[in-house]
Structure 1
Amino acid sequence: MKKLSFLFSVLIATTLFAQKTYVFFGSFNWDKTKPGIYVYELTLKTGKLKKVTTATGIKNPSYLTLSPDGKFVFACTDTKTENGGSVSSFEFNPENKSLSFINAQKSGGENPVYLTVHKNGKWLINANYTEGSASVYPISDAGIIGPYAQNFQFSEGSVNPKRQDRAHIHSTVFSPNFDYVFMPDLGADKIRIFKFDSDKKEPLLEAEPNFNQSVLGSGPRHFTFHPNGKFAYCIEEMGGAVSVYDYENGKLNTIQRIFTHPENQSGDFESSDIHISPDGKFLYATNRGTENNIAIFSINEDGKLKNVGYQSTFGKHPRIFALDETGDFLIATNVQTSNATGFKRNKETGLLQKISKVKGLKNVSCVQIKNYY
């Protein structure tokens, strides 16, 4: 018995020793000769971040996502460039800590802003903000992105003529079972809904209903599901709020709408990103503009939210943030101050404590965290 216990302890220790955690930052570099993607190693015991490599030769890799196995990094590239837009693929080797360019494809619309990968690693979907469209790409086993198999263009806007003159798809998110895709449309105040069949050559199919109506003028932006698959949450950029939904089989039912700022606060809001802790107990949402903070909510058993605090991001314009797979750490990017801030998360209270800050990440706009074994 003692021998088995000893062997188990050795196995756990070996696993922890072998595990390495890497952090990937994307940016608006505006110059292909300058780094666009930065890769850091995160030490889980201390939260310390150490740079290991960068990637050049690409312009404005503003949003990143990783394949399920972490072997490939996909980026929205040529973002915010007139008549431009592409999606690019890179191979990451955790052993020699290298990031190598594989290929790129046209994004099917100007200004790609979001990417998501199917759990089987064979499909990639991007959102094009300016032209209000979404494209679906096949991915080979070698990480090569093929020409898009589908491209959906949307046109209608909503009530704010300055911000909502036309459709603006801001994210593309798979359902917990990967059989639906949800696309918040900031321009149309809709969450567009599609079925997804990974076995088809054109896997994206319109659902019925094919959208969920958001509050007019709210500007739905990013979307996430609770780990239990029963609830969904959408952050609204212009409304400065999170809408909470019951979810079942592609259908959303609104159960709450709660502000990401104190209720007595007014003005133009710039809410941006939203994520839930792996234990499903807390939701985090970033506010840009004059706030530059993270709103922290506890999640009740019925899925509804209760605000428990706010945390400064120690920078300006926190566009994207991420939690690591253990739920111990949260890292936020600040575009206008070109820095990222690392926080230790209290799993009991949900509150955050600053433990690190990385400077010199030119116009850093996105972060993803991945454990490698």
Structure 2
Amino acid sequence: MTQTVYFGTYTRRNSQGIYKADLDPTSGHLSQLTLVAAEPSPTYLAFDQAGHLYSVGSKDGQGGIVALDQKGQVINHLVSEGAPLCYVAVDEKRQLVYGANYHKGQVLVYQKQADGSLTLADSDTHQGHGPHENQASAHVHFSDLTPDNYLITCDLGTDQVITYDVSPEGKISKLGSYQAAPGAGARHIVFHHFFKMAYLICELNSTIEVLAYDGMGDFEHLQTISTLPEDYTGPNGTAALRLSADGRFLYGSNRGHDSIVVYKIVGDGMLELVEIVPTQGNNPRDFNITPDQNYLIAVHQDSDNATVFKRNPETGKLTELSHDFYVPEAVCVAFEK
């Protein structure tokens, strides 16, 4: 039985929207690229358990979020003046959807209705800037849940990780913040499954900050580790961050060096470098581990190809199987819940 893989894309050149493909779980072979929904630059995807798909959305020159049904038909757009979101996440417990708007520096909360449509529940606009040339203003790049069900955001413009309490109705109130290294560019964060730890990938200085997480948004910095080889001096920006289901390995993507970095998570939750593997494409903005944990799929925004790696569950290492499956302008890899 094949596994369905979904791809979010930009639509600046050849892409038409959201695509899906079949993955053979025995061979790791991708096939049958199919357009699911024609939507302008649906760059991030999130499914709920009912099968609704939420994505970055645009309509009539305005930007925001779009809700789609199981057939890829639009349920509703929720847009406003300016750029669309860059990240979308689902809160099943409270029946909410969270969005991050990079250009506006906003975190947004939406209520899900019975038919899967969305209404705006609340929002917050970050303020501030950082020392890097890309940090002239706040740039919220991530908005998702902590293990204790608070809303957490990463702000690439201010180097802050800000946590919010969330009411059942979707109203948010700020709990606290963690300040990453100046100019780091906090982009995405993942939490360990059983250690009280979090891993923050920083786009602008190509590092991961290892943090102790005490709950309710309280973090303590423990380690900073590079995502790049020691002898690499070219341009780079990190992108995606994924944790294996068994909590033993952490993976991150490099754009510029065009690679996946693999770390082992040791007994105290710290990171040890395992390997850095070329992705055989240009600008691997996103990748994901398949639900069976056997494969890792990386997609490339600029070279229009997906690379499939076989994943060794004992060592965490990746072995390339293919890099020639065509996906136009892909920037997100997602699976149904």
The whole-number CA distance in structure 1 between the counterparts of 2:80 and 2:203 is 23
Match of 1:275 among 242, 250, 256: 242
TM-score by length of 2: 0.93
TM-score by length of 1: 0.85
What corresponds to 1:9 in structure 2?
none
| Pair 1:108–1:248, CA change in 2 (3 A) | farther
Q: Conserved in 2, the CA contact under 8 Å of 1:133 and 1:169?
A: yes
The whole-number CA distance in structure 2 between the counterparts of 1:229 and 1:145 is 34
Match of 2:125 among 147, 153, 164: 153
Match of 2:148 among 169, 174, 177: 177
Q: Conserved in 1, the CA contact under 8 Å of 2:110 and 2:170?
A: no
Q: Conserved in 1, the CA contact under 8 Å of 2:9 and 2:15?
A: no
Is 1:41 aligned to residue 41 of structure 2? no
SS at match of 2:313: coil
SS at match of 2:335: strand
For structure 1, the residue ranges without an aligned partner over 5 or more in a row are: 1-16, 93-97
For structure 2, the residue ranges without an aligned partner over 5 or more in a row are: none
SS at match of 2:108: strand
The whole-number CA distance in structure 1 between the counterparts of 2:36 and 2:4 is 15
The whole-number CA distance in structure 1 between the counterparts of 2:50 and 2:263 is 29
The whole-number CA distance in structure 1 between the counterparts of 2:123 and 2:47 is 22
Q: Conserved in 2, the CA contact under 8 Å of 1:107 and 1:126?
A: no
Map 1:73-112; keep pairs closer than 5 Å: 73-78=53-58, 84-92=62-70, 98-106=71-79, 110-112=83-85
Map 1:198-213; keep pairs closer than 5 Å: 199=168, 201-207=169-175, 210-213=176-179
The whole-number CA distance in structure 1 between the counterparts of 2:80 and 2:253 is 27
Q: CA deviation at 1:265?
A: 3.2
Deviation string, structure 1 residues 86-141 (Cα, Å, up to 9, x no partner): 2111122xxxxx43222110167624110111133710110000111111000123
What corresponds to 2:166 in structure 1?
196
Match of 2:224 among 253, 257, 260: 257
The whole-number CA distance in structure 2 between the counterparts of 1:34 and 1:158 is 34
The whole-number CA distance in structure 1 between the counterparts of 2:231 and 2:22 is 41
Q: Conserved in 2, the CA contact under 8 Å of 1:38 and 1:51?
A: no
Map 1:1-373; keep pairs closer than 5 Å: 21-30=3-12, 35-51=16-32, 53-67=34-48, 69=49, 71-78=51-58, 84-92=62-70, 98-106=71-79, 110-120=83-93, 122-146=95-119, 148-160=120-132, 162-178=133-149, 180-197=150-167, 199=168, 201-207=169-175, 210-228=176-194, 230-250=196-216, 251-289=218-256, 291-357=257-323, 359-370=325-336
Q: Conserved in 2, the CA contact under 8 Å of 1:87 and 1:107?
A: no
Q: CA deviation at 1:229?
A: 5.2
SS at match of 1:85: strand
| Pair 1:121–1:76, CA change in 2 (3 A) | farther
SS at match of 2:38: coil
What corresponds to 1:7 in structure 2?
none
Q: Which structure has greater strand proportion? A: 2
- Taking only the aligned residue pairs, the percentage that are identical comes to 28
Q: Conserved in 2, the CA contact under 8 Å of 1:176 and 1:229?
A: no
Q: Conserved in 2, the CA contact under 8 Å of 1:323 and 1:369?
A: no
Q: CA deviation at 1:364?
A: 0.9
Q: Which structure has greater helix proportion? A: 1
SS at match of 2:93: coil
The whole-number CA distance in structure 2 between the counterparts of 1:140 and 1:336 is 37
Deviation string, structure 1 residues 181-211 (Cα, Å, up to 9, x no partner): 21111111111111123x2x2432210xx21
SS at match of 1:112: coil
Q: Conserved in 2, the CA contact under 8 Å of 1:292 and 1:317?
A: yes
The whole-number CA distance in structure 2 between the counterparts of 1:229 and 1:175 is 13
| Pair 1:229–1:196, CA change in 2 (3 A) | farther
Aligned residues: 336
Deviation string, structure 1 residues 293-349 (Cα, Å, up to 9, x no partner): 000000012110000101111100000111122211111110000111111100111
The whole-number CA distance in structure 1 between the counterparts of 2:321 and 2:231 is 31
The whole-number CA distance in structure 2 between the counterparts of 1:234 and 1:363 is 26
Q: Conserved in 2, the CA contact under 8 Å of 1:324 and 1:370?
A: no
